Amino acid sequence: MKYLPALNVNAPGVYEAVRSGQLRLQPGQWVWTSEDRQGKPSRFVSAKGYLNIVHPTGPFGTGRFPQEAFLSRVRAAKRA
């Protein structure tokens, strides 16, 4: 399965499509949320009733991406 270009999860219909499973994303897919359009995109982890997304650190996502937090959440999502 290929990664898509970074998606804006706040675009009309995208959030619900991902949450409902109509649009399937794989862990690691880059996504934009309203908080991080000023800086770096976030990374998608899973969708089980809500979107599990890891955001970059720092104000407006200007800091380093928390790779360990992402990997930890992916492992936890696989166990759930």
Interval 15-45: pLDDT, tens: 999 999 999 999 999 999 875 556 788 899 9
The conformation of residue 32, written as its DSSP 8-state character, comes to: E
- Give the Cα separation of 23 and 35 in Å (integer): 22
Q: How confident is the model at residue 63 (pLDDT cuts 50, 70, 90)?
A: low
Q: Check whether 1 has a pLDDT greater than 80.
A: no
- Are the C-beta atoms of 26 and 57 separated by less than 8 Å? no
pLDDT at 37: 57
User: Who wins on pLDDT, 18 or 67?
Assistant: 18
State the Cα–Cα distance between residues 48 and 40, nearest whole angstrom.
Answer: 24
Q: Please tell me the pTM assigned to this model.
A: 0.80
What six digits make up the tokens of 48? 């089980």
Per-residue pLDDT band at 59 (split at 50, 70, 90):
low
CA-based nearest residue to 2, from 31, 25, 33, 23: 25
